[in-house]
Amino acid sequence: MEKTSKTLLKTSFSGSKVNRVREIKELIKNKKYKRVIEVFGGSCCISNNLKRDNLIEDAIANDYDHYFDNFEYYMIYKEKLIDQLIELGFVKSQKPLSKDKREELQNLIKEIQDNKNLLKYLAKNFVYSSRRSSNDINVFDFCYFMSELSTKHDKEFYINLKNVHLDSLDYKDFIKKYSTFNDRDTLIILDPPYLNSTQKQYCNVKYFGLSETIRLLQTMKQLKNDFIFFNMVEKDSVDLLNLFGFNFTYNTIKTPLSSNNHREDFLAYVTFDDKESKCNPCLN
């Protein structure tokens, strides 16, 4: 059933887990999951790649912010904007634009200043990396002309994404709608707003802190579905999973935020089929 592929489907998205897809494939290679659901979809890259490579039969992702509702328009807008800038003499560079060029660029995109998802999509080519993780990107942050300008990868990603069922729900409603107790055929992907992070890139109206993360993991303990769990600080994440008595393996990599700043990117694979999770009286 599996089809090997050397090239991953990817698109520009702050916080995308595309660099963990091969790791997830390796973790589940001996499993026979028929379905994957991404509860906090983000770029939806995990479900999209697993579905494209026929590792699962069905894929469902929660596009909570409606990021992909107008994705075709975003690609067309980017292509036209790039053509305009090249005609105006803009040259791709890692250096910030001059004041005049910066104002020229910002004047061109003033019309989309209220379209946060489109600004987020364009940010990789025009916005300084420390600002790209923020949900408050505005036209005045656009001060570069850099990185890959083509929409080729985005088009390939979006074509394949049409094979993934997208919904837009609060995570609790999404889990309730698409999961069932002790489902051995389904792998759940959890990439919630991280503990120990500012969470500026999320559109959530309330902070997704320790109490919400505990509620999420309590739901998973009761549900007894195998799941992948992402978070940030390894020690805190391991302690939290151990508190619930989960059976898990994990790996942490360093993710660059800027040239001099890195963060921990923690991934745990939690399973229920080999043995039951241990009982912790504090959580029962």
Chain length of the chain: 284
- Cα separation, 242 vs 245, whole angstroms: 5
Phi, psi of 144 (to 5 degrees): -130, 170
Mean pLDDT for back-to-back runs of 10 residues, the chain (284 residues): 67 84 93 95 94 96 95 97 96 94 97 94 89 81 92 96 97 97 96 68 59 94 96 93 96 74 88 60 40
How far is the C-alpha of 184 from the C-alpha of 105, rounded, in Å? 52
DSSP class of residue 281 equals G
Here the tokens at position 166 are 């997208």
| Structure tokens, 191 | 């990439």
Indicate if the alpha-carbon torsion angle 131, 119, 267, 20 is positive or negative.
negative
Supply the pTM of this predicted model: 0.86
H or E segment and range at residue 250: strand 247-258
SS3 272: coil
Residue 256 has a pLDDT of 63
Give DSSP secondary structure letters for 93-162: BSSPPPHHHHHHHHHHTGGGTT-HHHHHHHHHHHB-HHHHT-TT--GGGB--B-S----HHHHHHHHHHT
What's residue 282's pLDDT? 39
| 6: DSSP letter | S
Residue written as token pair 């985005």: 154
Q: How far is CA 162 from CA 92, 145, 159, in A?
A: 32, 30, 6
Half-sphere exposure of 96 (CA within 13 A, CB side): 12
Contacts of 284 (CB under 8 A, 6+ apart): none
Closest residue by Cα to residue 240 from 224, 258, 257, 217: 217
Q: Are 243 and 218 in contact (CB under 8 A)?
A: no
Give the pair of three-digit tokens for residue 114.
């209220």
- Tell me, what amino acid is at 180? T
Q: What pLDDT was estimated at residue 130?
A: 76
DSSP alpha helices (H): ranges in the chain? 21-27, 45-52, 71-87, 99-108, 116-126, 129-132, 152-161, 171-178, 210-223, 234-243
Q: How far apart are CA 55 and CA 7, in angstroms?
A: 15
Check residue 148 and give its pLDDT. Answer: 86
